[in-house]
Structure 1
Amino acid sequence: MSTPRIVVTGIGASSPIGATAPESWTALLEGVSGARTLEHDWVSKYELPVTFAAEALARPDTVLERPEAKRLDPASQFALVAAREAWADAGTPDVAPERLGVDFATGIGGVWTLLDAWDTLREKGPRRVMPMTVPMLMPNAAAAAVSMHLGARAYARTVASACASSTEAIVNALEHLRLGLADVVIAGGTESAIHPITVASFASMQALSRRNDDPSHASRPYSVDRDGFVMGEGAAALVLETEEHALARGATIYAVVAGGGVTADSYHITAPEPEGLGASRAVRLALEQAGASVDDVTHINAHATSTPTGDIAEYRALLSVFGDRIHDIPVSATKGSTGHLLGGTGALEAIFTILALRDRQAPPTINLTTQDPDIPLRISGEPIALGDGPQLAISNSFGFGGHNAVVAFASA
C-alpha cells in the first residue's frame, strides 16, 4: 500500500503583524515589526523590567461573538479565529465528521484564566471562581474548541512541547493522515501568554530583550548585538488532507507536506544542545521522510529567536547537515518581525514557509544591523527570489525541554 501524499489546502492566522494570514504575509514582506510598548497598567504596577511585546494586531474577543468568547481563554479564542479562517480558505471541505481530525498545540495554555481565577479566589473567595475555569485553562481547550466548532470526531489531540509545539502538531497531523486516521486534519498552534508572570519570569532568566526604548528593533536574529527574544502571541492553523481527497473536491493546493522530524536533546531544560545535535537529527529525519537530499532544499525558515546561545546552536546544526552549502540557501528569521509566539510560532512560520514557496520569495529578516560573524548564513533585509523549478523548504522549531521539530514542504 503506497503512502498517501499530504497537501495543504487552507491557512489562517492571527498574528502581531496581521489579523489574517494574507495580511500577516504582506506585512512580513514589507518588513513590519509587531513589537510595541505594552499599554497595560500592570506593567508599571509590577515594575516589570521589560515593558514591550508583540501583541496580536486583532483582539480575538472583538472577532468572536461575545457568548463564545467569554467561555474561552484568549489562547483558545485565537485558535478558533485562525481555524475558522483556514477552514473557510480551504473551501469548507465536505468531510464526514469521523474522518476529520484536529491536531492543535499550545506551549502554556490558559495562563490568563488560571491566574485570574487565583486572584478571584484570594480577593473574593471560592464562590466567585468561575465554574468554567478548568475547561478554559486546560491545554487541550483550544483543540476541543476547534473540534466542536467544526464537528471533528476522528480525534482532537494536543501536544505541548514548548516552542516546538505547533510544528510538532503539524508533523503529528502528517503522520495521522498517512496512517489513515483521517482524510482531513486541521493543525496548528496558539498562545496568549503576554502576562505579568511570564514577562517577569522570562526576564528573570535573561531570555528577553531589554530594548524598552526601541521595541520595533528589539528582535534582531543573527545580529551581533542581539540580547534576547520578544514575546509574541496569536495563533495559526493549516488544513491538511490527502491529495486524493483534495483533488476529488477540486481544492486549491498550497503545498505538499513532504516530511517531518521530531527529536529530543536530553541535555538541559532551557539551553539548546550547544552543537545542535538533536536539531540536526530532526532536520535529517524530515528530509529523509521527504525522500529529499540536502541539495534539494531551496529555503529555510529558521527558529532564530534572537538569543545569543540559541541562534548559534541552530547555525551549527544546519552547518552539520548542509555543510558549506548552508551559506548559499536563503534563510529567513521571521521572529524579527513577529516576535516569538511560543507554542503558536511553528504554525505561523509554517504558513510563511508555504507562502514563500508559492510566491517564490524568501521573506526578509529585519533588524539585522551587523551580522554575527560566527553565523554566516545567507540573510537579507529584503525578500530573496527563490528562482524557478521545484522548491523544497524546511521550517525549524526548538523548545525548552530539548524539544526539536522540523517540517519540510514542497511546492505544489
Structure 2
Amino acid sequence: MIKRVVITGLGVVAPNGVGLDAFTHAIKNGISGIKKDPELARLQFSCQIAGKPEISTELSLQYFSELELRNFNSTGILYGVIAGIDAWKDAGLSLEINEEPDWDSGTIFGTGTSGIDKFRESIYKIDDFQTRRLGSTAVAQTMNSGVSAYLGGKLGLGNQVTTNSSACTTGTESILMAYERIQSGQAKRILAGSTSDSGPYIWGGFDAMRVCTFKHNDSPEQGSRPMSASASGFVPGSGAGALVLEDLETALARGAKIYAEVLGGNVNSGGQRGLGTMTAPNPVAVQKCIKSAIAKAGIHPNEIDAINGHLTATSKDSLEIQNWSEALERKGTDFPYINSLKSMVGHCLSGAGSIESVASVLQLHHGFVFPNINCEDLHPEITALIDESRIPRKLIEKELNIIAKASFGFGDINGCVIFKKFKCHPLTLSKGKGAKSENQ
C-alpha cells in the first residue's frame, strides 16, 4: 500500500538564525545573515562577504561531548548534527540510548564536500611525517557520509543511513529520496536534510570562477540580490536544514505535530545538452522537472500558491522565472508568489535545498510569505513576464495551501518538491490518537 508522507519535525542552522524560533523571526522580518568575512579579506578574495551560522562552543557542547569536539573542525558535520537532532526533538522523538537500533527510522542527509579543513590539516601532518597525530576522528570528519554516520549513531538509527550529494540540488533530492522510501513502506520515518561546510577552502573555487559578487564588500547585507537588475553574482553561504518525514499513519498514531504533507516531486538532469552546461541549466529539463513534479503530486499548476525558487542572484534568475512561467502556463498577476531565501542567507550550496525547504514549510504552517530583500530594482526581463506584486518585498500574512520548492544545481541537475498544508479529516483522526495541527 502506498503511504502518505508528512513532515513532523524541523531543524535549521542558517546564517540568519540557528534554531526554528530565530530563523522564523529572521525570514519574516527580512533579516540578513550576510557579513564581512575577515578571513576572505585577508586572503584577498574578490568576494569578501559570506553567510555563516554563528555556533558557540556552549551550543556545540549540547550536541557533542568535549572528547568528540577535540580536534573537531568539520563545520558541515557540526551544522548537520545540530539541525538533525533539533528536528528529531521537534518531532517529539526520543533521544534515549537503547541497546536495540530503531529499525523503522533512518537518515538521508546530504553534503557537498565534507571536512575540508580537516583534509588540509591531515595533508600537512602527513607531509610532516606526523600521521599518528591525525586523531581518531579524521576519517569520520572527512568521509562524505560523516554527517549521516554521526546522526545515525547519536539517534540509534537502524534503517537506511546514507549521504547523497548532488551539488545545489542535494537537500531537495534528500527529501525526495526519503519520501520515496517511506511511501514504498521501507521505512516509517527518515531524517532528511543536507549541510555545507563553510570557509575559504569551500568558497575559493567559486570566487575563482567569478560567479560571486565583488561589489558589496563594504555593504554585506545588500550583497545578495536575487531577481534584481543590479545583481552581480551570488554570496557564498553555509549551514544545514533538516526535516523529519514520516508516514501519516505512524504520525497520527503517536499524536505527532504535523507541519505539512509531501505530495511528491521529481529529479532529473539536462544532460548538459542544448543550452545546458556544467554551470548553466538546460531550460527544457528544468521545465520538464517542474511539470513532472506537479504531475506526480497529483495537482494542477493553478493550485500552487507560492514558489520558493533557486534564484541565486546571477544572470540566470530571469531564465528561471521564464521556465516557471512556461512550465506552469501562468504569468502576470496569475503567477504564484515567488521568493528567494538567498537574499537573506546567500547561497548555502549543498545545504541550500534543505534550509530553503524548512523556510517553505514554515510559510505553509504559519501562513505567511517571507519578503525578498535587495530587489527594489527588479530585473526588467522578470517584470515583463510576471507582475511585481508576485515578488513580495514586505511580509505577507496569508494562508497558503501548496508551495513548490525547486533547486537547479551545478552539473545541470534539477529537483522540485511539492509541499501541501496538512489538513486533518475527522475520519482520518479517528484512526489514530490525533494529530496536533492548526488545521484540525
Instruction: Compute the TM-score of the two structures, normalised by the length of structure 1.
Output: 0.93
Asked if 1:86 corresponds to 2:91, the answer is no
Asked if 1:403 corresponds to 2:413, the answer is yes
Asked if 1:369 corresponds to 2:376, the answer is yes
In structure 1, C-alpha distance between the alignment counterparts of 2:347 and 2:296, rounded to whole Å: 28
In structure 2, C-alpha distance between the alignment counterparts of 1:351 and 1:175, rounded to whole Å: 19
Helix, strand or coil: the match of 1:374?
helix
Shift of 1:369: 2.2
In structure 2, C-alpha distance between the alignment counterparts of 1:114 and 1:269, rounded to whole Å: 29
> What percentage of aligned pairs have identical amino acids?
29
Counterpart of 1:53? 50
Query: Structure 2 stretches of 5 or more lacking a match?
Result: 423-440
Cα offsets for 1:143-182 (capped at 9, x unmatched): 1111111111111121100010011000000000011111
In structure 1, C-alpha distance between the alignment counterparts of 2:122 and 2:332, rounded to whole Å: 49
Asked if 1:380 corresponds to 2:392, the answer is yes
Deviates more, 1:110-119 or 1:20-29: 110-119
Asked if 1:392 corresponds to 2:402, the answer is yes
Cα offsets for 1:63-115 (capped at 9, x unmatched): 23322234562211111111111111100159971110111001222222112
In structure 2, C-alpha distance between the alignment counterparts of 1:402 and 1:60, rounded to whole Å: 38
Asked if 1:344 corresponds to 2:345, the answer is no
Asked if 1:318 corresponds to 2:330, the answer is no
Which amino acid in structure 1 is aligned with residue 88 of structure 2? Answer: W
Query: Structure 1 stretches of 5 or more lacking a match?
Result: none
Counterpart of 2:78? 77
Which amino acid in structure 2 is aligned with residue 207 of structure 1? Answer: V
Which amino acid in structure 1 is aligned with residue 10 of structure 2? Answer: I
Cα offsets for 1:108-127 (capped at 9, x unmatched): 22222112222333456434
Cα offsets for 1:253-287 (capped at 9, x unmatched): 0000111110011115532235x222222212221
Counterpart of 1:212? 217
Counterpart of 1:107? 112
Say what the alpha-carbon RMSD is for the aligned residues.
2.0
Q: Is the 8 A contact 2:227 2:382 kept in 1?
A: yes
Matches within 5 A, 1:231-270: 231-267=236-272, 268-270=276-278
Which amino acid in structure 1 is aligned with residue 395 of structure 2? Answer: P
Shift of 1:22: 2.3
Helix, strand or coil: the match of 1:97?
coil
Matches within 5 A, 1:144-293: 144-195=149-200, 197-210=201-214, 211-267=216-272, 268-273=276-281, 276-293=283-300
Counterpart of 1:16? 15
Cα offsets for 1:184-209 (capped at 9, x unmatched): 110000111322x3333211111101
Cα offsets for 1:200-220 (capped at 9, x unmatched): 321111110112111110000
In structure 2, C-alpha distance between the alignment counterparts of 1:299 and 1:411, rounded to whole Å: 12
In structure 2, C-alpha distance between the alignment counterparts of 1:345 and 1:125, rounded to whole Å: 36
In structure 1, C-alpha distance between the alignment counterparts of 2:277 and 2:120, rounded to whole Å: 24
Q: Is the 8 A contact 1:272 1:313 kept in 2?
A: no
Distance 1:73 1:198, change over 3 A: closer
In structure 2, C-alpha distance between the alignment counterparts of 1:406 and 1:126, rounded to whole Å: 44
In structure 1, C-alpha distance between the alignment counterparts of 2:22 and 2:57, rounded to whole Å: 16
Residues paired across the two proteins, number:
404
In structure 2, C-alpha distance between the alignment counterparts of 1:112 and 1:326, rounded to whole Å: 47
Q: Is the 8 A contact 2:52 2:198 kept in 1?
A: no
Shift of 1:59: 4.3
In structure 2, C-alpha distance between the alignment counterparts of 1:300 and 1:314, rounded to whole Å: 12
Which amino acid in structure 1 is aligned with residue 92 of structure 2? Answer: G
In structure 2, C-alpha distance between the alignment counterparts of 1:409 and 1:60, rounded to whole Å: 35
Which amino acid in structure 2 is aligned with residue 383 of structure 1? Answer: L
Distance 1:177 1:326, change over 3 A: farther
Helix, strand or coil: the match of 2:122?
helix
Q: Is the 8 A contact 1:299 1:392 kept in 2?
A: yes
In structure 2, C-alpha distance between the alignment counterparts of 1:134 and 1:151, rounded to whole Å: 20
Helix, strand or coil: the match of 2:382?
coil
Counterpart of 2:430? none
Counterpart of 2:434? none
Q: Is the 8 A contact 2:281 2:413 kept in 1?
A: no
In structure 1, C-alpha distance between the alignment counterparts of 2:332 and 2:14, rounded to whole Å: 29
Q: Is the 8 A contact 1:60 1:78 kept in 2?
A: no
Cα offsets for 1:344-371 (capped at 9, x unmatched): 1111111111111112211110011210
In structure 2, C-alpha distance between the alignment counterparts of 1:215 and 1:181, rounded to whole Å: 46
In structure 2, C-alpha distance between the alignment counterparts of 1:326 and 1:176, rounded to whole Å: 38
Which amino acid in structure 2 is aligned with residue 15 of structure 1? Answer: A
Deviates more, 1:11-20 or 1:325-334: 325-334
Deviates more, 1:219-228 or 1:107-116: 107-116
